[in-house]
Amino acid sequence: MAERATSLGWQVIRGYAVLVYIFMFLPVMVVVLLSFNASQFGSFPMTGFSFRWFIELWENEAILRAFRTSVILGLLTAAISTTLGVLASLALVRYRVPGANMISTILIAPILVPEVVLAVALLLFLNFLGVNKSFTLLLFGHVIFTLPFVILVVQARLISIRRDVEEAAMSLGASPVQTFFQITLPLMLPAVLAGALFAFTISFDDITGTLFWKPGGVETVPTQIFAMLRNSISPEINALGTVMIVMTVGLPLLGAAIARQISKKSGL
Amino acid sequence: MSSVTLNNIVKRFGSFTAVHRTDLEIPEGAFLTLLGPSGCGKTTNLRMIAGLLDPTEGEILIGGRRVNDVPIHKRNLGIVFQNYALFPHKTVAENIAFGLKYRDVPSGDIPGKVQAALDLVQLPDVGHRYPKELSGGQQQRIALARAIVIEPDVLLLDEPLSALDANLREDMRVELKRIQDQIGVTTVFVTHDQSEALAMSDQIVVMSAGRIEQVGAPQEVYNNPASEFVANFLGASNVFPAECLEAGPSGAVLQTALFGKVPLPVEKSMRVAGAGPAKLVLRAEKLQVMKAGATPEGMITAPATVETVDYQGQTVRYFVRVGDTQLQAINMIDGYPFSKGSAVTVAFRPRDGSALAGR
């Protein structure tokens, strides 16, 4: 092992991997660093350390409104997607549904279709039906887009839960509904949480679909940033970017930690 | 505790018939084993009794009550699964208490009942642990405790020992039988392992390809198989063609090419009605391989040649050739086995044979 780790080939591979990581994460680091820059101009060298841009962010009514919209949209998307995803997974894994494979493919398809295509298609379809753009439509779009992730995660977990554990619960007197809440749901809880977090973070950062579906006057954080960028490059955007990074990276990490805690307890 | 009755049960999956028309009566308190190779329908029968599968035709009665339309959670059964099926997110005590929560057991009585069940399976101190912290054998005992604490009408055991390793399996076999004797619950045990079936059962039901081949006490099924399948599934047997010369209240006489005339006592020849084609069944353990020229008292002999020697220490399995037929003999030995190629004499007592009708 030691021999291999020090050989030239491995050194090169290691160096290359580091370069790839730098290429991927340097821009993110720059955004985070500049968000603490005291200067008016978002560029190096930094002139001092300050929370000024975070405070301005906090005082910017439009951004706060966008933030609230994003959080509400994300939570609703997560709640609806997770509920539908769990039910769909149960049907597909536990019951013999005619055409289960096709239903499964259709449910997963939104991941495979380019988001722009999906966004335009849904918009045209609803125009055709004469439905106007609204917050509900936006929510609907986000649910379609996040549902596959929930289904993939929950389905994988459900397959690993042995059917005989549920049969044992029923043989002991639990009805199918009691069995679900007492046995199946607790066992798939880590996947349900993971699915909900996926749905929330995907909805929270989504911009393509959101630009098409959002009604006039409603902005989410990504569309707000997009709008601000069109006017000027304010250092506020760096601060907002930092907040977004913390949320979209921190939440899944937190979720993974909780899921691991649950799994540890149940021994799965 | 209740009897279980299967009346005219048929189970089809699409065009495949898993269980052909079956009638079976399991008396109250009996330990009955469904024995057969995989795919013979034994697990299908168990799952129909459990309510996990609906029979296509026929009816199932538990304690005289028709249960076809009673869902599993209202049948009051204890089921032990092959892979234990313990709830991994609940402690051992919570696992055992699970069934009690759905019965009219005052919550104050639950800990006492759980402890009594743990004592019965001889694991009194593991209540606070999680299933994954226990060994396979211990988990299976907990699964058994969980199934019997609810005082089920019928205990269903679906290959409960096959996930355990060999030594543990034999211990658990004794343990399971002890517990069943102690609580006296009607038990249906599914296995493909003939020694488990012989050791534990009051009654064995041998199944093959969705049909019952034979129902009987272990000694009966072992000594007097009803078909060639049963003879070969429970250990190794030699089955060869014979001609029944006469059959009556004093027994039967079979004419065989290899051993000449073989007189059988009446209890071993009840499957042949009279003169006609028949088969002679001779268990491998009952065929003795001896020095060439031996003429043991009261035994039928034939000269033979040893073709294969499968030495297993205490016993040895020979394949010997008699005429143009290969026979199998499993003998206890003391010292060295006969070597391959030796000329020997094979011998058996006539009462150790049994007769089947037909070709």
Q: Is the pLDDT of residue A1 over 60?
A: no
Say if residue B21's pLDDT is above 70.
yes
- The amino acid sitting at A106 is I
CB contact under 8 Å between A172 and B86, yes or no, is: no
d(CA A16, CA A14): 5
pLDDT at A22: 92
Of A251 and B130, more confident: B130
The arithmetic mean of pLDDT across residues A251-267, rounded, is 74
C-alpha to C-alpha distance for A228 and B251, rounded to whole angstroms: 105
Count of CB atoms within 10 A of residue A132's CB?
A: 9
Q: Which pLDDT does position A124 carry in this prediction?
A: 87
pLDDT for A23-43, tens place per residue? 998 888 888 887 787 777 656
Dihedral sign (CA A234, A239, A245, A247): negative
Closest by CA position to A90, among listed A34, A178, A163, A29: A163
Q: For the whole model, what pTM was predicted?
A: 0.79
Output the pLDDT for position B293: 83
Query: Which of A170, A175, A267 lies closest to B131 in CB terms?
Result: A267
Q: How many angstroms from the chain centroid is the CA of residue A96?
A: 30
Express as a percent the part of chain A with pLDDT over 90: 24
**CA pair distance A219, A73, nearest whole angstrom:** 11
CB-based contact, A186 to chain B, within 8 Å = yes
- Residue A176: list chain B partners with CB under 8 A: 73
Q: b vs e for A168-194, b when ≥16 Cβ sit within 10 Å of the residue's Cβ? A: bbbbbbbbeeebbebbbebbbbbbbbb
The answer, for B132 touching chain A at a CB cutoff of 8 Å, is: yes
Q: Which of A94-103, A150-159, A228-237, B47-56 has the lowest mean pLDDT?
A: A228-237
CA distance A267 to chain B (A): 6
Alpha carbon distance B45, B67 (integer Å): 14
Is the Cβ pair A187, B88 closer than 8 Å?
yes
The tens digit of pLDDT for each residue in B280-302 reads: 899 999 998 988 888 888 888 88
Confidence of residue A128 (pLDDT cuts 50, 70, 90): confident
Q: Tell me what the pLDDT averaged over chain A comes to.
A: 84
Contact B287, B328 (CB under 8 A): yes
CATH node for B236-357: 2.40.50.140
Which residue from B minimizes the CA distance to A183? Answer: B87
Residue of A164, A170, A267 with shortest CB distance to B81: A164
Question: B183: part of which helix (H) or strand (E)?
Answer: helix B166-183
Pairwise CB contact (< 8 Å): B83 & A170: no
Helices (H), ranges, chain A: 2-6, 8-35, 52-59, 61-94, 100-112, 115-128, 135-160, 163-171, 176-179, 185-205, 208-213, 221-231, 235-266
- Residue among B245, B277, B249, B275 nearest B261 (CA): B245
Q: How confident is the model at residue A2 (pLDDT cuts 50, 70, 90)?
A: low
Which has the minimum average pLDDT: A126-130, A165-169, A219-223, B68-72? A126-130
Which of B73, B78, B81 faces A170 most closely, judged by CB atoms?
B73
Neighbouring-strand partners of residue B66: B61
Residues in B touching A174 (Cβ below 8 Å)? 73, 98, 102
Distance of CA A86 to the CA centre of its chain: 17
Q: What is the pLDDT of residue B298?
A: 85
A167/B78 CB distance under 8 A: no
pLDDT at B359 over 80: no
pLDDT at B205 over 60: yes
Q: Is B294 exposed, middle or buried (0-12, 13-18, 19+ CB in 10 A)?
A: middle
Beta bridge partners of B189: B33, B157
Percent over 90 (pLDDT), chain B: 33
Residue A214 pLDDT = 83
Residue scoring higher pLDDT (A3 or B87): B87
The arrangement of secondary structure in B4-223, i.e. its CATH architecture, is 3-Layer(aba) Sandwich (3.40)
Query: Nearest CA to B260 among B303, B289, B318?
Result: B303
Q: What is the pLDDT of residue A266?
A: 57
Highest-confidence range of A263-267, B206-210, B276-280, by mean pLDDT? B206-210
Place B203 in a pLDDT band, splitting at 50, 70 and 90: very high
- B interface mutation test: which of A171, A263, A266 has the most B CBs within 10 A? A171
| Cβ contacts of A178 on chain B, cutoff 8 Å | 102
Q: A-chain residues within 8 Å CB-CB of B79?
A: 167-168, 171
- Chain B residues close to A170, C-beta within 8 Å: 71-73
In this predicted structure, what is the pLDDT of residue A14? Answer: 92
The predicted model gives A128-152 an average pLDDT of 86
Higher pLDDT, A37 or B263: B263
Residue of B99, B131, B143 with shortest CB distance to A173: B99
**pLDDT at residue A178 greater than cutoff 70:** yes
Average model confidence (pLDDT) across chain B:
88
Check residue A30 and report its DSSP letter: H
DSSP-based three-state secondary structure for A247: helix
B5 and B50 in contact (C-beta within 8 Å)?
Answer: no
Residues shown for chain B? 359
Beta-sheet strand order (sheet of B154-158): B77-80, B154-158, B186-191, B31-35, B203-208, B211-216
| Chain A touched by B85 (CB under 8 Å) | yes
pLDDT digits (tens, 9 = 90+) for B232-258: 888 888 888 888 888 778 888 888 888
Query: Is the model more confident about B124 or about A52?
Result: B124
Residue B1 confidence (pLDDT): 67
Sign, CA torsion A108/A112/A118/A119: positive
What does the block give as tokens for A262?
A: 């649950």
Residues 6+ apart with CB under 8 A from B220: none
Provide the token pair at B182. 């102690």
Q: Would the pLDDT of B198 be above 80?
A: yes
More confident residue, A262 or A13: A13
Residues contacting A165, CB < 8 A, separation 6+: A183, A187, B85, B86, B87, B88
In this complex, do B98 and A169 lie within 8 Å of one another by their Cβ atoms? yes
Res B308 pLDDT > 60:
yes
List pLDDT tens digits, range A197-218. 889 988 988 888 888 888 878 8
| pLDDT tens digits, B105-160 | 888 889 999 999 998 888 888 989 999 999 888 899 999 999 999 989 999 999 88
Task: Please report the ipTM that was assigned to this predicted complex.
Answer: 0.81
| B83-93 pLDDT tens trace | 889 999 999 99
Under CATH, which architecture does the A55-266 domain have?
A: Orthogonal Bundle (1.10)
| Residue B183's pLDDT band (cuts 50, 70, 90) | confident
Each residue of A88-101: pLDDT tens digit? 999 888 887 788 88
What six digits make up the tokens of B275?
């003169």
Question: Torsions phi, psi of A219, nearest 5?
Answer: -125, 140
Q: Does B54 touch chain A if contact means CB atoms closer than 8 Å?
A: no
Q: Where are the domains of chain B?
A: 4-223, 236-357
Question: Cα separation of B205 and B212, whole Å?
Answer: 7
Structure tokens at A23: 């290429």
Domain residue limits, chain A:
55-266
Residue type, position B210, single letter: G
Question: Does residue A142 have a pLDDT over 60?
Answer: yes
Chain B interface disruption, residue of A160, A164, A167, A172, most B CBs within 10 A: A172
